[in-house]
Amino acid sequence: MKMARALHPLFVTVLASCLVAALGLSADGAGAAAERKMVGVYELNTSLTGVLLSCLSFSPIPENGTAYFGGLIGRVANRISGARFTLDGKAYRLFPNDGKNTLHGGHRGFSKVVWTVKEHVGGGSSPFITLYYHSFDGEQGFSGDLDVYVTYQISNAHVLSVHMNATARDKANLVNLAHHAYWNLGGHGSGSILGEKVRLFASRPTAVGARIGGLLRRGVTGYDTNYAVDGGERGGLRRQLRRVAVVRDGASGRAMELWADQPGVQFYTANGLSGVRGKGGKVYDRHDALCLETQGFPDAVNRPNFPSQIVRPGQVYSHDMVFKFSF
């Protein structure tokens, strides 16, 4: 079934959680400030929703929110140092929302904008939904017009795939998209994930990740570290899927295996959660979830030794990830 409906930022957050698709329709205009109403909620796979943290409230998302629950992150995931960069000889200034740095695309990144539902199939063996967003030249300070698509699909009962692609229209763009899901294989609202076992197929942190790791040794509890996926730097804009991580919960017997085609992964243990009210009346606190955000390396535009995130007109950025669950 073909669709072209504007999607409220909250619904994008829910959709990016991949397991519940909530469709929204703009009333009398597609502007971000237009009044919106919910027109349907579609369960793609109820057996997976229990291991995913989500705030299923239909109140507006604050632009200064920092949890990014299930957010589709862009234009550039992670941090850009000094909220500035130079591209093709031109200097660009961004919105600093992480001290002096830009984090996850700025104060109004892709997780807080209106998306359009292009296609949705809720039944059958492989339900999916495809979203579209046009990011205009100068949005949050970034260069160039950009067309972005993302498809979430459930297949083989317990396999979730996410496909993202972006095309530069007129001039060079920076693109580094990510999926910011919070997972707890013991069940959302079941408490700390510190008893879960995580294996990363990433032998070293990036330079930025190493500095963050140093903070942990100085007393900050938990992980918020960027790692280089083994073999992940090869292939330019087109890379092969590689195994990134395996997570196991001994108490429930559940496991999650993540494959992706990006050079890096941000491992985050929800250090900043505190008293967040989630679905089903659950309350989420520090270390009640973990995130595995596959992506390019942080601050790549300012680090010529990192794989490039520049997408020029005619080029297509692509990011694929596959989550395989066993119960």
CA nearest 185: which of 177, 193, 175? Answer: 193
In the DSSP assignment, the letter for residue 272 is T
DSSP state of 144: S
Residue 22's region, left for phi above 0, alpha for psi from -120 to 50, else beta, is beta
47: enclosing H helix or E strand? helix 46-49
List residues with catalytic annotation: 180, 293
Structure tokens at 273: 């959660």
Radius of gyration from C-alpha coordinates of the chain: 19
For 44, the token pair is 């793609």
Q: Is residue 271 helix, strand or coil?
A: coil
Determine whether 150 is exposed, middle or buried from the number of CB atoms within 10 Å of its CB (0-12, 13-18, 19+). Answer: buried
- Per-residue tokens: 178: 């990510």
Residue 74, beta-bridge partner list: none
Four-residue CA torsion sign, 306, 309, 315, 318: positive
User: 256 has which bridge partners?
Assistant: 247, 325
How many CB atoms lie under 10 A from the CB of residue 153? 18
